[in-house]
Structure 1
Amino acid sequence: MKAVLILGLISLMGAKGLEDFPQSYVVAKRNSTDAVTLPCGTTTKNDVTWTFEGQDVEFNGRISTDGPNLLVKYVDKPMLGKYTCLSEGETASTFLLMEVEEEEELDSFFSCRARSYYCTFNCIWHHKKYRAVRLGLGPNCHDGGNECQWFKGTTKSQDERFHFDLTHSLKPFAEERSRLELTVEAIKDYTFLQRTKKFYLRDIIQPDSPQIVSCQKGSSDINVNIRPPSSWPMPHSFFSLEHEIQYERKDDGELHCHQDSSSTITIPLKITKLRVRSRDSLVRSAWSEWTGWTDSTCSTKLTH
């Protein structure tokens, strides 16, 4: 297996391992017969000595040298951690991490959403056991290229998930010919998870909730006027939305739904409450969240 050497963020050490991405690290598969190389990053390479977590490295069938560098194979958990080389008073450290063996599908704990076709979208990492997560956008990120731009997530105390705000260079009016490529990396202690997700921007579109502008009562029906959310791109004739209105009838208390691409939707007069949601009518995107319930005049918001 090829060693993956990536320059990243400054390393932070916790009591049980890494809390953030170290500046230099190598990822190995567990018990692989293929040796990985831990490079000595000092400017001089004379009389190099190596330590592991502050103790002299014991050379054996698993650990050997190749010039100033260290070769490691048959990697297992006790071998993971911080390796430091020393040459003429200068030191440099590299962390040996182990690839996560779990085969969980990325979509089971990671999701992305774009509110519109403009240049931003957001992603959420739901897997709580990882202490550090980052995203790289573009094909250069999977192999740890220096040209990759990494996005670091922020956590919110109420849910402990990692939230990411990303930017892309796609043009809203252009035909989408290529997929976005996201590289997701996560660290827990000294284990390393990497997954790649490819998708078209249209696949993650989910508009914000629309606005109910007014309800005009007639003799037998109500015309509900709906406006796209302020975050939705213009002109609306090009970026059209389909609306779904849900309402509760007075006579039987049952919920009914009606879908229409018009900005005005007609529903029966005798209702107790209504709400609306929208989606991109061309690509049939995910539906927005529902608006809050409102009464038949659209002037009073209801709590249920």
Structure 2
Amino acid sequence: MLQAFFLLLIQEEWSFLHTVPVSWPKNYVVVEENDSYTLRCDPHTQNVKWLTPSDDCVNSSQNALELTDLENPCAGNYTCLTMDNILLKSVYLLIKENEDLKISCSLDSYSSPVLSCSVRVPFCRDCLVRAKANTSSVDDTNWLEMKFSDATKDSVLKFNLSLPMWCAFEEQIYPIVVTMEAITKSQYMSGSNSYYIRDIVVPGAPENVILNTDSNLGSWTYPSTWARHFSFFPLLFEVNIQFKNNKEIYELVYEMKKNMTNVKCMRVRCRDMYNNSMWSNWTTARSVSRAPRSPCKFK
């Protein structure tokens, strides 16, 4: 009965030799293409056998399995067994890609606990990806593991990473370090990037935009995602105004209102007032209550 169990386990191991792992391998090694590597089994067991994805790279097969001229067909799960089919060791071998992963992240507020990130994984048609964010040199957070499939040439993965407890009013001593790894059935790619929050904050668009022609006043409110208190985290607004004669102007505004006349349409965006952050998206264009014959079309 016990032997049948191990035979079933071996069959399961063998079934994943040429497919993407269902979860991140517990034991794996990453080697350079055309490099050599030696896999060692149990030093206390003399007679062993290996299950390998390919025999093309196997130079000698004893307790130590010598691999040479490693290429993608040689990547996969290497399993060491006793002659009685008892599992001794299992290692997943991956070929390292020369290109690094390019990671981009942003926050919608200084107090936001979630990083919005994206990464292009060039070789990813069917792959396993994991990512984590650390906020100091000593903390080590858990990996977020994701399965990703994409048939396009530029495979872009978007995901969110939770940050450990963060206080918006404290000075940021250490940067946030985002680390990523991606694997297919044969390839490995990694990358990392570090961020200071002041450099990646992108506010949400202003909300509750109103254009009141009776009072010649346009008004709006802070985005609901923005850090409180507003006096400590003030925003600068830019108003794009289109007049009835189709002339357009852009104007910076420090308040949440703007007096205007003969206006046809208006939209607003915002950014951090002091740290020169990136601008938010524009709000949806607001027209006068008696809609003009021609729709709002900003340049």
TM score, norm. by length of structure 1: 0.75
Aligned partner of 1:149 among 114, 135, 142: 142
CA distance in 2 between counterparts of 1:12 and 1:167 reads 36
* Partner residue, 2:26: 23
CA distance in 1 between counterparts of 2:232 and 2:187 reads 47
CA distance in 1 between counterparts of 2:136 and 2:70 reads 27
Q: How far 1:136 moved relative to its partner?
A: 2.1
* Partner residue, 2:266: 274
CA distance in 1 between counterparts of 2:290 and 2:184 reads 50
Are 2:262 and 1:265 aligned? no
CA-to-aligned-CA distance 1:127-154 (integer Å, 9 cap, x gap): 464122221223999xxxxx55111247
% same residue: 25
* Partner residue, 2:129: 133
Paired positions, count? 273
Letter in structure 2 aligned against 1:271: V
Q: How does 1:1-304 map to 2 (within 5 A)?
A: 17-18=19-20, 20=22, 21-32=24-35, 35-38=36-39, 40=41, 45=45, 47-53=47-53, 59-60=58-59, 68-87=63-82, 89-91=85-87, 92-102=89-99, 106-107=101-102, 110-117=103-110, 118-127=112-121, 129-130=123-124, 131-138=127-134, 148-153=141-146, 161-169=156-164, 170-217=166-213, 222-251=216-245, 253-266=246-259, 268-297=260-289, 304=297
Q: How far 1:94 moved relative to its partner?
A: 1.4
CA-to-aligned-CA distance 1:249-270 (integer Å, 9 cap, x gap): 212x13211112212223x311
Unaligned runs of 5+ in 1: 1-10, 142-146
CA distance in 2 between counterparts of 1:37 and 1:148 reads 32
Letter in structure 2 aligned against 1:199: Y
- The SS at the match of 2:51 is strand
Q: How far 1:186 moved relative to its partner?
A: 1.2
TM score, norm. by length of structure 2: 0.76
- The SS at the match of 2:287 is coil
8 A contact 2:209–2:286 mirrored in 1: no
Unaligned runs of 5+ in 2: 1-12
Q: How far 1:168 moved relative to its partner?
A: 1.6
CA distance in 1 between counterparts of 2:134 and 2:290 reads 45
CA, structure 1 residues 288+12, in 2 after alignment: closer, same or farther (shift >3 Å)? farther
Letter in structure 2 aligned against 1:226: W
- The SS at the match of 2:73 is helix
CA distance in 2 between counterparts of 1:50 and 1:44 reads 16
8 A contact 1:154–1:162 mirrored in 2: no
CA distance in 2 between counterparts of 1:133 and 1:58 reads 27
CA-to-aligned-CA distance 1:55-105 (integer Å, 9 cap, x gap): 779852xx566xx55454442223222211113542232111110023x6x
CA RMSD of aligned residues (A): 3.7
CA distance in 2 between counterparts of 1:57 and 1:199 reads 44
- The SS at the match of 1:164 is strand
CA distance in 2 between counterparts of 1:261 and 1:80 reads 59
CA distance in 2 between counterparts of 1:19 and 1:295 reads 54
